Amino acid sequence: MAELFKMKLLDVNKNQILPETSADQVTMAGGGNVEAKIKSLESAFAAGTRLLGTVGTEGTVETLPADSYQLGDMYVVKTAGTYASQVCEPGDLILCVKAYAEEGAADTDWTVIQNNVVRAVKGPESATDGNLMAFDGASGTVAKDSSLKMTDVSDAVAKKHEHANADILNGISASGDTMTVNGKTYYSGRMVAIIENGGEIPADMNPNGIVFEKAAV
């Protein structure tokens, strides 16, 4: 896992930027927002959690209960699969955040607490230096050597004006600090940079760029 740092957000003149984001503005991958998720977890933990066993093949139960579950009921995922419409891996915790209601039972009564690396990608035992990576199969978690060389890609880019899309590529123009590609404007220079605490702003920053400065430890 990459090393984590505390950061300050700066503009290109090294003035600190203080953005404000409320918990209800941050959307979760599975829907809903952080504020609602925190409230549901607070309610579940306040009621007390009850570890009822494992779920999956050869687990205490093979599937989550369809009724009679209580706030705070918790299971450990034994077999990877989809539970309460959420993709889970072994070791994940599934917590009931809303007790069963006969007329309102729903997958949203449960939440998953991730307990391992999310969708880690496993590579081959070896690969050819200079080749690009490709996914092996449809799982999105297994990589392989694509046998496509980076130099071949560079050659293809160098000959881009010989391709069938030459008209589109010829629609690229530049002026000052901007470049236009088929009517869309892009800016030159770095738009984002990370510097050490007390470090200098990179000279190649775009005038409208932002800088993250590592906070003093």
How many whole angstroms separate alpha carbon 210 and alpha carbon 43?
A: 39
How many whole angstroms separate alpha carbon 73 and alpha carbon 96?
A: 5
**178 DSSP β-pair partners:** 175, 187
What are the boundaries of each domain within the chain?
1-21+159-217, 33-113
**Bridging pattern class, strands 50-55 and 73-77:** parallel
Which DSSP string corresponds to 78-95? -S-EEETTEEE-TT-EEE
Closest CA to 119 of 101, 143, 99: 143
First-to-last C-alpha distance (Å) of the chain: 20
pLDDT band at 114 (very low <50, low <70, confident <90, very high): confident
Average confidence (pLDDT) over 94-119:
82
**55 DSSP β-pair partners:** 61, 77
Can you give the pLDDT at residue 29?
64
Average confidence (pLDDT) over 153-158:
78
Global pTM value? 0.40
Can you give the pLDDT at residue 30?
62
**Bridging pattern class, strands 86-88 and 93-96:** unpaired
Mean pLDDT rounded to a whole number for the chain: 80
How many whole angstroms separate alpha carbon 126 and alpha carbon 68?
A: 51
Instruction: List own/partner pairs for 79-82 with CB under 8 A and 24 or more apart.
Output: 79/55, 80/56, 81/56
Can you give the pLDDT at residue 1?
47
Average confidence (pLDDT) over 56-61:
90
